[in-house]
């Protein structure tokens, strides 16, 4: 039986290392499941997911120079991703704009209002202001560094 990319086979976990697990396949072949191919979630310790001697179903994802690369996670259903941006808070995203939350009570701030679209001139001014602030910061740090170097040479 030729192990082609995309083939699904059953095997037994032979050994486990910090970077992956070696799987005994049919016809006395051995393949490796890299730690990144064990589960859809981040895996810090592969031993929490696999044990030696465990029977596993794997997919062949590569077969080059006699090295067989395998994956377990590609056989699992993909988890649903949230519509929220990474690290973002989805509290302000609502189907109905009128249902947006107002400011917390007792803060004395007015309710959250949607921002008016900005004109091209306003966008340019904001970008220019950000550039100037960053530029000034870089120049001052360069001056501090060069002043420190010249003072230390005079001693």
* Model-wide pTM > 0.75: no
Cα dihedral 49, 38, 59, 15 sign: negative
- Tell me: do 71 and 122 sit in the same domain: no
Is residue 111 assigned to a domain? no
Domain assignment of residue 90, yes or no: no
Quote the pLDDT of residue 52.
94
For residues 57 and 75, is the Cβ–Cβ distance under 8 A? yes
Domain hosting 151: range is: 118-155
Contact (CB, 8 A) for 72 and 66: no
Per-residue pLDDT, averaged over 24-49, amounts to: 91
Dump pLDDT digits (tens) for 83-141: 655 555 555 454 555 555 555 555 566 666 666 777 888 888 888 999 998 898 888 88
Q: What is the mean pLDDT of residues 9-13?
A: 94
Q: Report the C-alpha gap between 74 and 60 in whole angstroms.
A: 10
CATH code for the domain of 67: 2.40.50.140
Q: Would strands 67-71 and 29-34 be described as parallel, antiparallel, or unpaired? A: parallel
Residue 54 inside a domain? The answer is: yes
Residue 149, domain member (yes or no): yes
Residue 108 domain flag: no
Domain count across the chain: 2
Residue 107 domain flag? no
Pair (69, 16) in one structural domain: yes
Q: pLDDT tier at 145 (50, 70, 90 boundaries)?
A: confident
Among 75, 90, 107, which residue terminates a domain?
75
pLDDT, residue 86, reads 59
In a domain, 145, yes or no: yes
């Amino acid at each position: 039986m030729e192990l082609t990319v995309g083939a699904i086979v059953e095997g037994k976990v032979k050994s486990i290392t910090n970077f992956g697990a070696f799987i005994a396949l049919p016809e006395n072949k051995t393949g490796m499941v890299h730690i990144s191919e064990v589960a859809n979630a981040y895996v810090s310790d592969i031993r929490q997911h696999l044990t030696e001697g465990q029977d596993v179903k794997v997919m062949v994802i590569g077969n080059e120079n006699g090295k067989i690369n395998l994956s377990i996670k590609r056989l699992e259903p993909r988890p649903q991703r949230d519509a929220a941006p990474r690290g973002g808070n989805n509290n302000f995203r609502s189907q109905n704009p009128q249902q947006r939350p107002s400011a917390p009570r007792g803060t004395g701030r007015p309710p959250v209002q949607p921002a008016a679209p900005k004109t091209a001139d306003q966008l340019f001014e904001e970008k220019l202001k950000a550039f100037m602030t960053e530029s000034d910061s870089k120049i001052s740090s360069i001056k501090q560094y060069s002043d420190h170097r010249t003072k230390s040479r005079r001693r």
